[in-house]
């Protein structure tokens, strides 16, 4: 199993290209099940989760191809995928595949909309909490689906097709919004989703669906309206840039000092984190290439943060921000409101010498003068990259183990950091 070795102490300077967003690419790929024509997606990141979802979609009958490398491109440039689900040959998504990636459960929406039936495994537990699917099922039932749960599988049927309706989510759910939005595009009549997720990845999905012939309005607000159509066609769509990757590298620059341009990063997708980082003492400037991030010479100021749905501070940047606050000049409080078990990185950060006290969903971080390199272990995707951020300034050498978590969501991280001066290398067992 691969690990990453990091020697701390170097500032970061240069350019880091920001990949297409994993959290946008996955629902866009699933949307290809809604049409028998080809959906072409540009700027798709090369990630383990993308490869796994491709396998899952192939199981349903998807044909796919990847465009070859173009002149001037390198492997840090997103790939182009051509996805064609001409025939759905299997409406079952088996446990052995769904259990490896929760987002694959979302295929239930397109399968039900197009084939009027689906049998999808419950995704099971998750390292950062249970993340139940009750909102998904409630939304589909509101569209007329008959839902049963048998032997760990959700059996969904809509013999006469789905019918538009009003869907009111009791709490915001990105996954449930994606799923009901996709299902409603082929439902008869109008669907209104209230208390919908406002995340940019939802907006990106709606743009793609509209390019395919759907009639979606209101994406990016808490009320989305979908007028169902008889069929969707193929389209070409570019995946939005990854705001979580951009925020992560911005925090790495804030931690180490230096001057880095995050090429392709979009400020409007990062308004909350940018505001927080400026309060910490980081200079962030919009340029025609993306975002320029520099840390001033005054050190890091402590700032309290509470995770919230978009446009608030994202839970997917909480671990990275906690790593940053371990070196702040004072005490900060970080409150996690989205997931009930997203502090597993605390114990590993303590191995660097960080001082963090947990009380329920609050973490109190007392900044320290120095961190010391240590062998650490990644526990989930975002937690793993928080360890990288700490290692970049830790005295001596750090080895981050179980980096397959990183490969799920960060494209060629060691190459991107290495190009900007970090001493970082991947170690593969013989």
Concatenating the DSSP letter of every residue in 135-191 gives HHHHHHHHTT-EEEEETTEEEEE-TT--B--EEE-SS--HHHHHHHHHHHTTSBSEE
380 is in an annotated binding site: no
131 is in an annotated binding site: yes
172 is in an annotated binding site: yes
Handedness of CA 247, 130, 128, 91 (dihedral sign): negative
| Rounded Cα–Cα distance for residues 55 and 61 (Å) | 10
Concatenating the DSSP letter of every residue in 85-131 gives -SS----EE-HHHHTT-GGGGGGHHHHHHHHSEEEEE-----TT---
22 is in an annotated binding site: yes
Q: Are 213 and 232 within 8 A, CB to CB?
A: yes
401 is in an annotated binding site: no
316 is in an annotated binding site: yes
Helix-helix angle 243-256:318-325, to 10 degrees: 10
Q: Which of 51, 126, 168, 271 is catalytic?
A: 126
173 is in an annotated binding site: yes
368 is in an annotated binding site: no
87 is in an annotated binding site: no
Concatenating the DSSP letter of every residue in 49-86 gives HHHHHHHHHHHHT-EEEEPPPPTT--TTSPEEEEEE-S
Q: Are 104 and 93 within 8 A, CB to CB?
A: yes
| Rounded Cα–Cα distance for residues 211 and 149 (Å) | 34
Query: Residues with Cβ < 8 Å from 124, sequence gap 6 or more?
Result: 95, 99
Is 126 one of the catalytic residues?
yes
134 is in an annotated binding site: yes
Specify binding-site residues for UDP-N-acetyl-alpha-D-glucosamine. Answer: 102, 131-135, 171-174, 316, 338
Specify binding-site residues. Answer: 22-23, 102, 131-135, 171-174, 316, 338
Known catalytic residues are 126
Specify binding-site residues for phosphoenolpyruvate. Answer: 22-23
């Amino acid at each position: 199993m691969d690990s990453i070795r990091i020697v701390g102490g170097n500032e970061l300077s240069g350019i880091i290209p920001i990949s297409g967003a994993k959290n946008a690419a996955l629902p866009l790929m699933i949307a290809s099940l809604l049409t028998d024509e080809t959906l072409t997606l540009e700027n798709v990141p090369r990630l383990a989760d993308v490869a796994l979802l491709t396998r899952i979609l192939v199981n349903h009958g998807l044909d796919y191809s990847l465009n070859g490398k173009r002149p001037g491109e390198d492997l840090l440039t997103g790939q182009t995928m051509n996805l064609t689900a001409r025939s759905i040959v299997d409406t079952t998504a088996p446990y052995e595949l769904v259990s490896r990636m929760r987002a694959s459960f979302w295929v239930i929406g397109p399968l039900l909309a197009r084939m009027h039936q689906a049998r999808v495994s419950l995704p099971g537990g998750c390292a950062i909490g249970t993340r139940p699917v009750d909102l998904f099922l409630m939304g589909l039932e509101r569209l007329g689906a008959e839902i049963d749960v048998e032997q760990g599988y959700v059996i969904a049927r809509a013999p006469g097709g789905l019918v538009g309706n009003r869907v009111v989510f009791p709490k915001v759910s990105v996954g449930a919004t994606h799923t009901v939005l996709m299902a409603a595009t082929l439902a008869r009549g109008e669907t209104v989703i209230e208390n919908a997720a406002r995340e940019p990845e939802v907006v990106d999905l709606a743009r793609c669906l509209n390019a395919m012939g759907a009639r979606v309005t209101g994406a990016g607000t808490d009320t989305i309206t979908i007028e169902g159509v008889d069929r969707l066609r193929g389209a070409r769509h570019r995946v939005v840039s990854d705001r979580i990757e951009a925020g992560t590298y911005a925090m790495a620059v804030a931690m180490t000092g230096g001057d880095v341009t995050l090429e392709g990063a979009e400020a409007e997708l990062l308004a909350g984190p940018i505001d927080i980082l400026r309060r910490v003492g980081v200079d962030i400037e919009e340029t025609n290439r993306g975002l320029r991030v520099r840390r001033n010479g005054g050190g890091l100021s402590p700032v309290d943060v509470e995770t919230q749905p978009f446009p608030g501070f994202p839970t997917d940047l909480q671990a990275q921000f906690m790593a940053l606050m371990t070196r702040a000049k004072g005490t900060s409080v970080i409150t996690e409101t989205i997931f009930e078990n997203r502090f597993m990185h605390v114990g590993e950060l303590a191995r660097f010498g960080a001082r963090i006290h947990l009380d329920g969903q609050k973490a109190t971080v007392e900044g320290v003068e120095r961190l010391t390199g240590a062998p650490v272990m990644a526990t989930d995707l975002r937690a793993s990259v928080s360890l990288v951020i700490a290692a970049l300034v830790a005295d001596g050498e750090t080895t981050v183990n179980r980096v397959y978590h990183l490969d799920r969501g960060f494209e060629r991280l060691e190459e991107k950091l290495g190009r900007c001066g970090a001493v970082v290398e991947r170690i593969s067992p013989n």
